Protein backbone atom coordinates (compact mmCIF):
# COMPACT_ATOMS: atom_id res chain seq x y z
CA UNK A 1 0.00 0.00 0.00
CA UNK A 2 1.31 3.44 -0.87
CA UNK A 3 1.24 6.37 1.49
CA UNK A 4 0.41 9.90 0.39
CA UNK A 5 1.74 13.16 1.73
CA UNK A 6 -0.63 16.03 2.40
CA UNK A 7 1.23 18.50 0.17
CA UNK A 8 1.82 16.15 -2.73
CA UNK A 9 -0.56 13.66 -4.25
CA UNK A 10 2.22 11.45 -5.62
CA UNK A 11 2.68 8.25 -3.64
CA UNK A 12 5.69 7.74 -1.41
CA UNK A 13 7.06 4.30 -2.16
CA UNK A 14 7.63 2.27 1.00
CA UNK A 15 11.05 0.65 1.37
CA UNK A 16 10.45 -3.09 0.75
CA UNK A 17 8.17 -2.67 -2.27
CA UNK A 18 9.50 -4.05 -5.53
CA UNK A 19 10.34 -1.58 -8.27
CA UNK A 20 7.86 -3.19 -10.69
CA UNK A 21 4.99 -2.98 -8.25
CA UNK A 22 5.89 0.59 -7.30
CA UNK A 23 5.98 1.60 -10.97
CA UNK A 24 2.62 -0.10 -11.60
CA UNK A 25 1.01 1.67 -8.63
CA UNK A 26 2.48 5.03 -9.67
CA UNK A 27 1.18 4.54 -13.20
CA UNK A 28 -2.28 3.56 -11.90
CA UNK A 29 -2.28 6.64 -9.67
CA UNK A 30 -1.33 8.87 -12.61
CA UNK A 31 -4.21 7.48 -14.68
CA UNK A 32 -6.78 7.63 -11.86
CA UNK A 33 -9.23 10.49 -12.06
CA UNK A 34 -10.68 12.44 -9.18
CA UNK A 35 -14.44 12.62 -8.83
CA UNK A 36 -14.46 16.27 -9.94
CA UNK A 37 -12.41 15.47 -13.08
CA UNK A 38 -14.63 12.51 -13.91
CA UNK A 39 -17.77 14.65 -13.49
CA UNK A 40 -16.27 17.31 -15.76
CA UNK A 41 -15.46 14.71 -18.43
CA UNK A 42 -18.94 13.19 -18.30
CA UNK A 43 -20.50 16.65 -18.02
CA UNK A 44 -22.53 15.89 -14.91
CA UNK A 45 -22.77 17.55 -11.51
CA UNK A 46 -20.82 15.97 -8.63
CA UNK A 47 -24.17 15.33 -6.91
CA UNK A 48 -25.54 13.32 -9.87
CA UNK A 49 -26.94 9.88 -9.15
CA UNK A 50 -25.79 6.65 -10.82
CA UNK A 51 -28.58 6.62 -13.40
CA UNK A 52 -27.73 10.11 -14.64
CA UNK A 53 -24.03 9.26 -14.78
CA UNK A 54 -24.80 6.15 -16.83
CA UNK A 55 -27.01 8.12 -19.23
CA UNK A 56 -24.32 10.77 -19.66
CA UNK A 57 -21.72 8.04 -20.26
CA UNK A 58 -23.78 6.37 -22.99
CA UNK A 59 -24.63 9.70 -24.61
CA UNK A 60 -20.95 10.66 -24.92
CA UNK A 61 -19.81 7.12 -25.75
CA UNK A 62 -22.22 6.87 -28.69
CA UNK A 63 -21.01 10.27 -29.90
CA UNK A 64 -17.33 9.26 -30.07
CA UNK A 65 -17.73 5.53 -30.76
CA UNK A 66 -18.73 6.09 -34.38
CA UNK A 67 -15.55 8.01 -35.16
CA UNK A 68 -13.13 5.94 -33.08
CA UNK A 69 -11.97 3.59 -35.88
CA UNK A 70 -10.75 6.47 -38.05
CA UNK A 71 -9.87 9.24 -35.60
CA UNK A 72 -7.21 9.04 -32.88
CA UNK A 73 -8.74 12.01 -31.05
CA UNK A 74 -12.13 10.24 -30.86
CA UNK A 75 -10.40 7.10 -29.50
CA UNK A 76 -8.69 9.24 -26.85
CA UNK A 77 -12.02 10.86 -25.87
CA UNK A 78 -13.69 7.45 -25.64
CA UNK A 79 -10.83 6.16 -23.49
CA UNK A 80 -11.16 9.21 -21.22
CA UNK A 81 -14.93 8.70 -20.95
CA UNK A 82 -14.36 5.05 -19.99
CA UNK A 83 -11.88 6.09 -17.27
CA UNK A 84 -14.35 8.68 -15.94
CA UNK A 85 -17.12 6.08 -15.79
CA UNK A 86 -14.93 3.71 -13.77
CA UNK A 87 -13.92 6.56 -11.45
CA UNK A 88 -17.57 7.40 -10.71
CA UNK A 89 -18.63 3.74 -10.40
CA UNK A 90 -16.12 2.20 -7.98
CA UNK A 91 -17.99 -1.12 -8.01
CA UNK A 92 -17.37 -1.58 -11.73
CA UNK A 93 -13.87 -2.56 -12.75
CA UNK A 94 -14.34 -1.72 -16.42
CA UNK A 95 -16.55 0.59 -18.47
CA UNK A 96 -19.10 -1.06 -20.79
CA UNK A 97 -17.26 0.03 -23.95
CA UNK A 98 -13.70 -0.30 -22.62
CA UNK A 99 -12.90 -3.33 -24.77
CA UNK A 100 -14.63 -1.97 -27.85
CA UNK A 101 -12.24 0.82 -28.77
CA UNK A 102 -11.21 -0.47 -32.18
CA UNK A 103 -7.77 -0.17 -33.69
CA UNK A 104 -7.44 2.41 -36.42
CA UNK A 105 -8.46 1.16 -39.82
CA UNK A 106 -5.78 0.90 -42.50
CA UNK A 107 -6.21 3.64 -45.04
CA UNK A 108 -4.19 3.01 -48.18
CA UNK A 109 -2.47 6.00 -49.73
CA UNK A 110 -4.49 7.77 -52.40
CA UNK A 111 -4.11 6.56 -55.95
CA UNK A 112 -2.02 9.47 -57.19
CA UNK A 113 0.42 9.20 -54.28
CA UNK A 114 0.98 5.54 -55.11
CA UNK A 115 1.35 6.38 -58.77
CA UNK A 116 3.87 9.14 -58.03
CA UNK A 117 5.85 6.80 -55.75
CA UNK A 118 5.99 4.13 -58.47
CA UNK A 119 7.04 6.72 -61.03
CA UNK A 120 9.81 7.98 -58.73
CA UNK A 121 11.06 4.41 -58.20
CA UNK A 122 11.07 3.85 -61.96
CA UNK A 123 13.06 7.06 -62.48
CA UNK A 124 15.60 5.99 -59.85
CA UNK A 125 15.92 2.64 -61.63
CA UNK A 126 16.38 4.40 -64.97
CA UNK A 127 19.01 6.71 -63.48
CA UNK A 128 20.90 3.69 -62.17
CA UNK A 129 20.68 1.56 -65.33
CA UNK A 130 20.53 4.12 -68.19
CA UNK A 131 21.69 7.51 -66.88
CA UNK A 132 22.08 8.93 -70.41
CA UNK A 133 18.39 8.28 -71.22
CA UNK A 134 16.84 9.74 -68.04
CA UNK A 135 15.53 12.91 -69.68
CA UNK A 136 14.06 11.01 -72.64
CA UNK A 137 12.31 8.44 -70.46
CA UNK A 138 11.02 11.10 -68.05
CA UNK A 139 9.50 13.29 -70.77
CA UNK A 140 7.93 10.37 -72.63
CA UNK A 141 6.49 8.86 -69.41
CA UNK A 142 5.04 12.17 -68.21
CA UNK A 143 3.55 12.82 -71.66
CA UNK A 144 1.99 9.37 -71.74
CA UNK A 145 0.51 9.87 -68.26
CA UNK A 146 -0.97 13.27 -69.17
CA UNK A 147 -2.41 11.98 -72.45
CA UNK A 148 -3.90 8.96 -70.67
CA UNK A 149 -5.54 11.23 -68.10
CA UNK A 150 -6.90 13.55 -70.80
CA UNK A 151 -8.28 10.62 -72.81
CA UNK A 152 -10.03 9.19 -69.75
CA UNK A 153 -11.37 12.63 -68.77
CA UNK A 154 -12.71 13.14 -72.29
CA UNK A 155 -14.74 9.94 -72.04
CA UNK A 156 -12.60 7.49 -74.02
CA UNK A 157 -12.98 3.80 -73.27
CA UNK A 158 -11.02 3.02 -70.11
CA UNK A 159 -10.01 -0.42 -71.34
CA UNK A 160 -8.55 0.78 -74.65
CA UNK A 161 -6.98 3.89 -73.13
CA UNK A 162 -5.23 1.95 -70.37
CA UNK A 163 -4.18 -0.74 -72.85
CA UNK A 164 -2.64 1.91 -75.12
CA UNK A 165 -0.94 3.58 -72.15
CA UNK A 166 0.43 0.22 -71.01
CA UNK A 167 1.86 -0.51 -74.45
CA UNK A 168 3.38 2.98 -74.58
CA UNK A 169 4.89 2.43 -71.13
CA UNK A 170 6.39 -0.89 -72.21
CA UNK A 171 7.91 0.71 -75.29
CA UNK A 172 9.31 3.61 -73.29
CA UNK A 173 10.73 1.49 -70.48
CA UNK A 174 11.76 -1.49 -72.61
CA UNK A 175 15.25 -2.64 -71.70
CA UNK A 176 15.96 -3.82 -75.25
CA UNK A 177 15.77 -0.19 -76.43
CA UNK A 178 18.65 0.79 -74.12
CA UNK A 179 21.19 -1.80 -75.21
- Sequence-distant (≥ 6) Cβ neighbours of residue 166 within 8 angstroms: none
Report the C-alpha gap between 37 and 162 in whole angstroms.
Answer: 59
Amino acid 141: pLDDT? 82
pLDDT in tens, the chain (179 residues): 444 333 344 444 445 556 665 555 555 545 677 888 888 888 888 888 888 888 888 888 888 887 777 788 888 888 888 888 888 877 776 777 666 666 666 667 788 788 788 878 877 887 887 788 778 878 888 899 899 999 999 999 999 998 999 898 888 877 655 55
Q: What are the φ/ψ torsions at residue 122 (nearest 5 degrees)?
A: -65, -40
Amino acid 31: pLDDT? 61
How do the domains of the chain map onto residue ranges? Answer: 3-100, 111-177
Amino acid 163: pLDDT? 92
Q: What are the φ/ψ torsions at residue 5 (nearest 5 degrees)?
A: -90, 165
Q: What are the φ/ψ torsions at residue 11 (nearest 5 degrees)?
A: -70, 145
Number of neighbours of residue 94 by Cβ within 10 angstroms: 11
Q: Which residues pair with 4 in a beta bridge?
A: 11
Amino acid sequence: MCHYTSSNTRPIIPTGMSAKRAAAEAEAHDRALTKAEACRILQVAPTADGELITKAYWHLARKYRAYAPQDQEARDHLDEINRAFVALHPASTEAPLAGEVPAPAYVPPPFFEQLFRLYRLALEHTRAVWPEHLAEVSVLSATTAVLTYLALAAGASALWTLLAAGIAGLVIWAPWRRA
